[in-house]
Amino acid sequence: MSHSEEKFIVPEGFNPEPFILKRIRDFLGKFKIYEEKNGAPLVLLFDRRSEVFYCVCHLESEMLISKSDLEAVLDPEESEEYKLNRDIYTDTYSYKLMEKDALSGRSFEDIVVEYDPTYRPNVPLKVFGGQHRIMAIKEAIQNGVSAVHGVRVYFGLFSEQKVNIAMASNTAIAVSNDLIDRMQEDLLGNDLRNWGQQVGLLDKEQHFADRKNPEGLPTVRIARTLIVNYYMGKSFEKEALNIPVVCSSGKGIDKCYRNIRDGINWSDRQLRKMGRKFARLHKLQRESVLKRDTDNSLESANKAISPCVAASWAYAAGYFQDNPEALEIHYALTGRTEPGQDPLNTKALSAARLKDVDPDTYPGLGCRASAIELGRMMETFLLHATRAKEPGITLRLANAAIKSFEAKRSILAAERALRGI
């Protein structure tokens, strides 16, 4: 048999902790839910996957909007600056349809919140899923349209539970893998974010992007890729074929990153220097491309943070740690700012190809993230720092790098075949 707890019912077999019951009573004392107004009981529910208590109820538009916090964070004791969920984009077709529905009096359901008055208590409904619906409802209210909306309210969540609930809520609306990565990284701690801010990849109190963006803000995936390849380059055998990797995204924490994370010395001077040099390269690449009258695409402007280029550049930075002269040449790309020229010379990279092998549709170096393309791009940075007679990436260098990598690959394949005789 279930038992009543004042204004709500706790089903038989459930025994919420006292602080959960206190939080629920506090919620019901401050919110006049639609069910209570109409004499319907509120039932406390339990999510076994996340081991959290919640209830499903309905609130009128004005109450919902006035008490909702779209800036929910993982740990308010650390900072209230870093959002747990995704950013809001109101310029999409799907949002315009949502806004139209709200103006027509649509009752939205399953807006996911946590009732948490411990920070920003004037807006205690911390929104984990449904922030775009909240914005559409707000627009409708401003136009005199009100409705009743369904809310799933969680109580007393710990950090791991917040991430789990937020991921589940956002996955249901096809959230980007980059946001999932950011949530998972926040759960691991703030080391990667702090490092990104210290080296200039992020501004002070800025978070990684929750999706690929025209502003060129790096994602967690790119930051992880930089770290992983830097360490790979430091430890790899110099005579072997060097193949960087791109960290996976949205499928759990990347295995390579997970394997090294506990051993990362975030204050290491050379690691920070690598980060600063890459941040500088990315900034100059954007500036030099965007100020041109032609050949100024966003793809070229953000070339440094394309997965293939970022992985290969960081791998080379690690690879040259025991060769200071080559390392400085590698880092010197950040100083290549001649008029009309971008540090990575995207025109040359796009035009490079292996004659009679690469098809006409081949997009050039640095566009794809296959093992072969990563190897080719790494070879470009390798030859630039050790063999090139002129500074900077050129078409001749890029073509030579492709041929050099393919020759090395053929030699290794031949050696493997000969061992099998």
For residues 235-243, give the mean pLDDT: 79
**Both 268 and 402 in a single domain?**
yes
Q: How would you list the strands of the sheet with 42-43, edge to edge?
A: 3-5, 8-10, 42-43
- Asked whether 81 and 87 are in contact (CB, 8 A), the reply is no
Residue 73 region by backbone torsions, left for phi larger than 0, else alpha for psi between -120 and 50, else beta: beta
Average the pLDDT over each of 7-11, 135-139, 165-169, 269-273 and give the range with the smallest value.
165-169
**Separation between Cα atoms, residue 198 and residue 90, nearest integer Å:** 31
Instruction: Give 180's pLDDT tier (boundaries 50, 70, 90).
Output: confident
Euclidean distance between the first and the last CA atom of the chain, given in angstroms as a whole number:
75
Please give the structure tokens belonging to residue 151: 């809310």
Please say if the pLDDT value at position 125 is more than 50: yes
Over the stretch 392-405, which tens digit does the pLDDT of each residue have? 999 999 999 999 99
Q: What is the pLDDT of residues 126-158, one digit of tens each?
A: 998 888 899 999 999 999 999 999 999 999 998
Place of tokens 């502003």: 215
pLDDT class of 89 with cuts at 50, 70, 90 = low
Answer with the one of 113, 140, 175 that is the final residue of a domain. Answer: 175
Residue 116 CB: number of other CB atoms within 10 A? 23
Residue 181 lies in a domain: no
pLDDT at 335 over 90: no
Residues contacting 119, CB < 8 A, separation 6+ = 73, 76, 80
Q: Give the model confidence (pLDDT) of 191-214 as tens digits.
A: 999 999 999 999 998 999 988 888
Residue 268 to residue 310: CA distance in whole angstroms: 20
Q: What is the pLDDT averaged over residues 84-103?
A: 73
Same domain, 155 and 287: no
**pLDDT score, position 8:** 86
Mean pLDDT of 38-42: 87
The pLDDT assigned to 225 comes to 98
Residue 325 is encoded by which pair of tokens? 């002269």
Structure confidence at residue 1 (pLDDT): 42
Q: Based on the fold, state whether residues 258 and 382 are members of the same structural domain.
A: yes
Q: Assess if residue 142 is contained within a domain.
A: yes
Q: Are residues 170 and 199 in the same domain?
A: no
Could you tell me if 220 and 169 lie in one domain?
A: no
Which amino acid is located at 415 in the chain? Answer: E
Element (H, E) at 125: strand 125-129
34 in any annotated domain:
yes
Whether the per-residue pLDDT at 173 is higher than 60: the answer is no
* More confident of the two residues 237 and 358: 358
Residue 252's pLDDT is 79
Closest CA to 231 of 253, 257, 249: 257
Last residue of a domain, one of 114, 149, 175: 175
Judgement on whether residues 166 and 245 belong to the same structural domain of the protein: no
Q: Per the domain annotation, does 163 fall within a domain?
A: yes
Q: What is the mean pLDDT of residues 213-234?
A: 95
User: For all residues of the chain together, what is the average pLDDT?
Assistant: 89
167 & 198 share domain: no
Same domain as 218, residue 126: no
Residues 195 and 165 in one domain: no
Give the pLDDT score at 415: 84
Q: Are residues 204 and 166 in the same domain?
A: no
Residue 302 is predicted with a pLDDT of 96
Do the domain assignments include residue 346? yes
| Percentage of the chain exceeding pLDDT 90 | 63
Domains identified in the chain, total number: 2
**Given pLDDT bands bounded at 50, 70 and 90, which one contains residue 79?**
low
> Quick one: pLDDT at residue 34?
93
Task: Flag whether 183 is in a domain.
Answer: no
Going by the DSSP 8-state scheme, the letter that residue 38 receives in this structure is: T
Q: Are residues 62 and 165 in the same domain?
A: yes
The backbone torsions φ and ψ at residue 4, rounded to the nearest 5 degrees and listed phi first, read -90, 140
Sequence letter at residue 214: P
Closest CA to 218 of 241, 238, 195: 195
Rounded CA-CA distance 47/81 in Å is: 28
**Residue-wise pLDDT tens digits, 341-379:** 899 999 999 999 998 889 989 999 999 999 999 999 999
Q: What is the pLDDT of residue 87?
A: 63
Give the residue-averaged pLDDT of 280-307: 94
Domain extent, residue 113, equals 3-175
d(CA 399, CA 381): 12
pLDDT, mean of residues 57-83:
83
Q: Which amino acid would we find at residue 10?
A: V
Task: Determine the pLDDT at residue 394.
Answer: 94
Q: What is d(CA 231, CA 266) in angstroms, rounded to the nearest whole number?
A: 12
Residue 307: per-residue pLDDT: 96
Q: Are residues 157 and 275 in the same domain?
A: no
Longest dimension (CA), the chain: 84
283-289 long-range CB contacts below 8 Å, 24 or more apart? Answer: 283/200, 284/334, 284/336, 284/337, 284/342, 284/343, 285/342, 285/343, 285/344, 286/216, 288/337, 288/341, 288/342, 288/343, 289/342, 289/346
With respect to residue 184, please indicate whether it lies within any of the assigned structural domains.
Answer: no
Other C-beta atoms lying within 10 Å of the C-beta of residue 93: 7
